[in-house]
Amino acid sequence: MIGELLLQLLKAFLVGGGICLIGQLLFDVANLTPAHTMSILVIGGSILSGLGVYPLLADFAGFGAMLPISSFGNTLVQGARAGAESHGFFGIFSGLLKQVSAGISAAVIFGFLAALFFKPKS
């Protein structure tokens, strides 16, 4: 079991680190702003999801592929796909945001709590 855990950790480290490295190159070499960099990674994630690559990457690397923001694009496409499969064209609209709900809700809820209880430092 320890061997299995270590292998999973290694895969997550390499893939997750690799995606962050791409982000750093977009910052430093392409001189993009954080907003542009994140948008590009998300769009890349949805395209790779459409090509069927991202789900394979997520199977391989677990949170190495699921934690970086590119997985947001992948999850949106999976939701749109699931919606379209069961409800047709309008299922794209109803399904798109279904699976990213946890991430967005948690970010808003805990962000609001942070604003309630903490004051900005500078």
Q: Are 78 and 103 in contact (CB under 8 A)?
A: no
Q: Write out the two tokens for 90.
A: 């309008």
Choosing from 50, 55, 60, 94, the residue that interacts with other proteins (CB under 8 A) is 50
Minimum separation from the CB atom of position 10 to other proteins (A): 8
- Determine how many CB atoms are found less than 10 A away from the CB of residue 6: 10
Choosing from 34, 53, 56, 90, the residue that interacts with other proteins (CB under 8 A) is 34
Is residue 41 a contact residue for other proteins (CB under 8 A)? yes
Contacts of 69 (CB under 8 A, 6+ apart): 38, 41, 42, 45
Is residue 32 a contact residue for other proteins (CB under 8 A)? no
Q: Map the footprint of other proteins across residues 91-110, applying CB under 8 A.
A: 92, 96-97, 100, 102-104, 106-108, 110
